[in-house]
Structure 1
Amino acid sequence: MGVDLSDIVEDCSKEISLNNIKGKKVAIDAYNAIYQFLAAIRQADGTPLMDKQGRSTSHLSGIFYRTINLVENGIIPIYVFDGKPPEEKTQEIQRRIKIKEEAEEKYNQAKEQGEIKSMKKYAQMSSRLTNNIATESKELLINMGIPIVNAPSEGEAEAAYLSQKDYAWASASQDYDSLLFGARRLIRNLTMTGKRKLPNKDQYVDIVPEIIEFDSLLHKLGITREQLIDIGILIGTDYNPEGIKGIGPKTALKIIKKYGDIEKAIGKEIDEKEILFDYKQIRQLFLNPKVIDPKTSLELKEPDEEKIKRILIDCHDFSEERVVNAVGRLQKAIKSSKNLERQTGLDRWF
């Protein structure tokens, strides 16, 4: 779900070309990206890409080909994987599981009735990211020479931390939670750039990357990071999905700007009986999340072609010709990226 700040953030978002990110490291929320691949890379009836044994390969296809596209554009992706979620997220996790179970039931009903469009819709909604999918994704990325980071808890929090500490230039995710975690820059649509079909419509639109500069956002809204977090808490986060009934982003912004924080608004604009969660604890989850300094190099490495072929061709029946050609592209792109990095380093001396 993530926090829905769209009504107050969209005016601060601007399009950015991949060329503008060239030579920069971007910390990608891996689970967020993989869910996109699982949902989008499907056949017309919603069936995911599968190997001969009936195992889903949509995630591997997305990781492999779209990551190569990023590297070819001079971007250095760092995939950040979730660790153990905070206990406060349990309610949201259970809510998501229920939604997926209901979607699976509707998918089966649509399948019985031969309703192709409904089948795809509910199949996408029922996408599940299993431990095996995460493990396979990590293995493929490592052998592609792409850096990964295993977060101790929330992947978005770790990605935001990497941007704060200059390990990465920006954080990439579809969710706005990255902003509450303090990401210096948030890039949306990075791993889904291109033409995409609108839900339930025979219409396609061009999806382009968008960037939100954190300091510019706070300046334009006239608030602090702590106040942005309070706004998120009022409208609902993964730690308190319901938020406060009747309060949306614009109303929450107005309340926090008027009173300064949630404490001062209680008894005035907010009924204390409506607060069914520990907002102080949630605030701390965003301000002081569990993060770590990366223990491994965050540089691109030479891909291991034989291991990539074993994963994709031998284990999952990918086209050998396509994989070999793509690996060649990746090798060339990584070499170009390293040359660009060396040139950038030399430029500092002149």
Structure 2
Amino acid sequence: MGNADLRDLAAIRDVAFTEIEGSVVAVDAHNWLYRYLTTTVKWTSDEKYTTADGVEVANLIGVVQGLPKFFEHDLIPVMVFDGAVTELKADEVAERREKRERAEERRAAAAERGDAVEAARLEARTQRLTDAIQETTRELLSLLDVPIVEAPAEGEAQCAHMAATGTVDHAGSEDYDTLLFGAPTTLRQLTSKGDPELMDLAATLDDLGFDRRALVDAAMLCGTDFNEGVRGIGPKTAVKEVREHGDLWGVLDARGAQIPNAEAVRELFMNPPATDAEVDTAVNPDVDAAREYVVDEWGVAADEVTRGFERIAESQVQTGLDRWT
């Protein structure tokens, strides 16, 4: 969710990896990849991931560093990529582009005055998922036998649909949109340090005394990626007023407020574009081929990915042993 206020409403708890091992997780690939891409750019010299032709593929380092934790905990990631941008999200996309452009201007100024630390920090903010990044990420995931699903529109919506229909056990995202899109459970911080979090839709609705439509109404009052919220309404006020006035329209009427395209935004959350997908979870990574692709074909510095590939290979041996004990 563009507005993280939903965290104040959601039922979220820490969960031990032992509770979720063996699970299949539909991961919001753009959300996950962007996080590792920006981290890699911020903390790694660009010569480590830039080809002789000047193509930047920091994503390859990020993928190799991020995937091992899935495998080490016997989790099967299904990477779900965004499809077409929803028209309602056009303003959000434009705003992100403007922020990247402003960051690029500031990065250039920092580099000119010799402030390498500030330049690196701002460089991370200018990252976008280029065609090269999209293509090489998919190819690397394929070599590592990680299932890929192409969403018709929002990746979070597709993840939620797959979790709701039982195609996977959980959605996986750092955003909160999966809750609004109807994912029964969402795993967050899967590849961060420490244990992940589990966000539970049923528990959230039970705590609030809401159905999902009322939860969507409250979220829209706060603001989402698809609409501006109503001035002066935070999460607690949103819940209070939806209870008092019955639904989104009752609150808007009582306040004399409007949310443009409100019906369309609400319908998008309740019935988002998604597709049924078959997923083969018999994952068998070809680590040697993946390493050759990253290091030999794309010229990524071997020292940046060696340990990641070692962890993936080791995890496959250990997982195999565990399944026979």
Tell me the TM-score normalised to structure 1 length.
Answer: 0.84
- For the residues of structure 1 that align with 2:320 and 2:183, how far apart are their CA atoms? 26
Name the SS for the 1:80 alignment partner.
strand
Of 88-97 and 256-265, more deviation after overlay is shown by 256-265
Structure 2 vs 1, CA of residues 301 and 254 (structure 1 numbering), >3 Å: closer, same or farther? same
- For the residues of structure 1 that align with 2:162 and 2:323, how far apart are their CA atoms? 19
- For the residues of structure 2 that align with 1:114 and 1:6, how far apart are their CA atoms? 40
Structure 1 residues 72-87: aligned runs within 5 Å: 72-87=72-87
**Aligned-residue offset at 1:342:** 8.5
Deviations 1:220-253 (A, max 9, x none): 122111011111111111111x221222222111
Which of 235, 250, 268 aligns to 2:222? It is: 235
CA contact 1:42–1:48 (8 Å) conserved in 2: no
The runs of 5 or more residues in structure 1 that have no matched partner are 195-206, 344-350
Name the SS for the 2:9 alignment partner.
helix
**Aligned-residue offset at 1:337:** 4.5
CA contact 1:78–1:298 (8 Å) conserved in 2: no
Number of equivalences:
324
- For the residues of structure 2 that align with 1:170 and 1:138, how far apart are their CA atoms? 21
Name the SS for the 2:67 alignment partner.
helix
Q: In the alignment, which residue of structure 2 is the partner of 1:267?
A: 253
What amino acid does structure 2 have at the position aligned with 1:61? I
CA contact 1:148–1:298 (8 Å) conserved in 2: no
CA contact 1:185–1:213 (8 Å) conserved in 2: yes
Name the SS for the 1:100 alignment partner.
helix
Q: In the alignment, which residue of structure 2 is the partner of 1:91?
A: 91
Tell me the TM-score normalised to structure 2 length.
Answer: 0.90
The runs of 5 or more residues in structure 2 that have no matched partner are none
What amino acid does structure 2 have at the position aligned with 1:22? E
Q: In the alignment, which residue of structure 1 is the partner of 2:280?
A: 298
Deviations 1:52-92 (A, max 9, x none): 42432321112123212211111111110000021111111
Structure 1 residues 19-34: aligned runs within 5 Å: 19-34=18-33
Of 155-164 and 313-322, more deviation after overlay is shown by 313-322
Q: In the alignment, which residue of structure 2 is the partner of 1:204?
A: none
CA contact 2:158–2:275 (8 Å) conserved in 1: yes
Of 70-79 and 126-135, more deviation after overlay is shown by 126-135
Name the SS for the 2:129 alignment partner.
coil
Pairwise CA RMSD: 2.5
**Aligned-residue offset at 1:43:** 4.7
Q: In the alignment, which residue of structure 2 is the partner of 1:179?
A: 179
Q: Which has the higher contact order (CA 8 A, sep 6+)?
A: 2
- For the residues of structure 2 that align with 1:176 and 1:210, how far apart are their CA atoms? 12
Which of 228, 241, 248 aligns to 2:234? It is: 248
What amino acid does structure 1 have at the position aligned with 2:20? I
The question of 1:278 aligning with 2:271 is answered no
- For the residues of structure 1 that align with 2:40 and 2:315, how far apart are their CA atoms? 24
